[in-house]
């Protein structure tokens, strides 16, 4: 198994993040975006949220290739400023099951515990059919908090519910 490291994303990672997200989006159920929706502007926004109170992490292999990425933003309304939300994680299909997603989340949680102002909650949504992701998030301490019925509509017209999950930091 190849080694990888997790670190904050830097601007030079943009092309690698774009390639990763396009690859993951091409796999059914990989991302809540179609490959044509993964643009340079989408990646620029994901990277900008880290500069505006959020977090953007990458997992890179020993060659420096991006094999995973996670970004989350901080809510801007004062009453919710302790919340990290709109979380997206992408792991290269060739790297799935090798601990990349877990490592990205562990790094996020560690960073969130040190942020100012303090973060008290991390939230995410995942497709109801994505049981593997739900199990991973639960192993990391996230709790299922609800279900958003019919939230996602696929290109074939079928719909899927979103599962709302949250992690309270203590």
Work out the number of other CB atoms within 10 angstroms of the CB of residue 53: 17
**Are the beta carbons of 29 and 130 closer than 8 angstroms?**
yes
**Are the beta carbons of 60 and 95 closer than 8 angstroms?**
no
Domain that holds residue 77: 4-168
Q: What is the per-residue pLDDT for 8?
A: 97
Answer with the residue of higher pLDDT: 33 or 94: 94
Torsion angle (degrees, nearest 10) of CA 26, 29, 32, 36: 20
How many residues are listed for the chain in this entry?
Answer: 170
**How far is it, in rounded angstroms, from Cα 126 to Cα 130?**
7
Answer whether residue 124 shows pLDDT above 90: yes
**How far is it, in rounded angstroms, from Cα 122 to Cα 33?**
21
Total number of domains in the chain: 1
Answer whether residue 2 shows pLDDT above 80: no
Whether pTM exceeds 0.85: yes
**How far is it, in rounded angstroms, from Cα 117 to Cα 107?**
18
Q: Give percent of the chain with pLDDT exceeding 90.
A: 84
Q: Where residue 45 sits, what CATH number does that domain have? A: 3.40.630.30
Answer whether residue 157 shows pLDDT above 90: no
């Amino acid at each position: 198994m190849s080694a990888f490291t997790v670190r904050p994303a830097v601007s030079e990672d943009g092309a690698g993040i774009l390639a990763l997200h396009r690859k993951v989006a091409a796999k059914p159920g990989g991302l809540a975006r179609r490959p044509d929706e993964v643009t340079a502007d989408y990646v620029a926004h994901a990277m900008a949220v880290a500069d505006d109170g959020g977090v953007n992490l990458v997992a890179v292999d020993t060659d420096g290739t991006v094999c995973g990425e996670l970004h989350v933003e901080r809510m801007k309304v004062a009453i919710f400023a302790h919340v990290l939300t709109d979380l997206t994680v992408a792991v290269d299909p060739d790297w799935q099951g090798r601990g990349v997603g877990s490592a990205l989340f562990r790094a996020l949680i560690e960073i969130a515990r040190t942020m100012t102002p303090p973060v008290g909650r991390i939230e995410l949504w995942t497709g109801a059919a994505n049981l593997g992701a739900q199990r991973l998030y639960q192993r990391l301490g996230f709790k299922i908090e609800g279900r958003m019925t019919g939230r996602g509509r696929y290109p074939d017209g079928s719909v899927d519910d979103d599962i709302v999950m949250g992690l309270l930091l203590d």
